Chain A
Amino acid sequence: AQKITQTQPGMFVQEKEAVTLDCTYDTSDQSYGLFWYKQPSSGEMIFLIYQGSYDEQNATEGRYSLNFQKARKSANLVISASQLGDSAMYFCAMRGWATSGSRLTFGEGTQLTVNP
């Protein structure tokens, strides 16, 4: 079984500042992938960034980076230079090789609010 925990139900950040959204995971799989998705108020799920468990470098995509600490089983999302449009719900998710259905297991989400 695999589990994702996001301990921050809500986060606030000032525009142009950086923010870190926490994600810890638990799995017995040796090979797995970690994903972050953004869900704006309109409801769609937008893929942000991916990190493989064997990737040695932390993933980066524009203003998004993933702070992957395998020994601590954490995969925090860092958003640099926050913008008002970053206000949304953010989900951390995991996909394991041995997990039935190759499904994404999601955390509870973190609601990020960017203040002007």
Chain B
Amino acid sequence: EAQVTQNPRYLITVTGKKLTVTCSQNMNHEYMSWYRQDPGLGLRQIYYSMNVEVTDKGDVPEGYKVSRKEKRNFPLILESPSPNQTSLYFCASSLGLAIHNEQFFGPGTRLTVL
């Protein structure tokens, strides 16, 4: 089944404790992206990757890191989480950059930083 998977689905952590949210897709997509969703703000892009070893900042990159060492994986790293990073996080992938390329979303990771 074609899908985007994220782990963990739920995470409660404390300020300053480094964490990684994994994202993997099995569709051989070139483009991958991370979004965060906050009430009243919709989804906002954090980072994106056009291909292996090619990553760039989105709208809200502060406090996050990413890497793309393999085509299928795009982990999101929070080196020192803070309470304002409490949010619902989505990983997404699409075949490429074309406008009509649908972005497939993972199931989401609900993160709480105390």
A interface residues, Cβ below 8 angstroms from B: 4, 31-33, 35, 37, 43-45, 47, 50, 52-53, 91, 93, 95-97, 100-104, 106-109
Query: Contacts A52-B100, A97-B99 hold; do A103 and B48 have CB atoms under 8 A apart?
Result: yes
Option from A100, A102, A109 in Cβ contact (under 8 Å) with B42: A109
A35–B99 alpha-carbon span in the complex (Å):
10
A79–B46 alpha-carbon span in the complex (Å):
31
Closest chain B CB from A30 CB (angstroms)? 11
Chain B contact residue count (CB 8 A cutoff) = 28
Per CB-CB distance, the 8 closest pairs between chain A and chain B, nearest first, are A106-B42, A45-B105, A33-B99, A103-B45, A102-B97, A106-B43, A101-B48, A43-B108
Closest chain B CB from A6 CB (angstroms)? 8
B99 touches A95 (CB 8 A): yes
Q: Please, what's the 1-or-0 string for B45-81, where 1 marks a CB less than 8 Å from any CB in chain A?
A: 1001010000011110000000000000000000000
A104 touches B41 (CB 8 A): no
Closest chain A CB from B69 CB (angstroms)? 20
Contacting residues, chain A, for B92 (C-beta < 8 A)? 45, 104
B interface residues, Cβ below 8 angstroms from A: 31, 33, 35, 40-45, 48, 50, 56-59, 88, 90, 92, 97, 99-100, 102-105, 107-108, 110
A78–B33 alpha-carbon span in the complex (Å):
28
Query: Contacts A43-B88, A44-B107, A44-B108 hold; do A102 and B31 have CB atoms under 8 A apart?
Result: yes
A18–B76 alpha-carbon span in the complex (Å):
40
A95–B103 alpha-carbon span in the complex (Å):
10
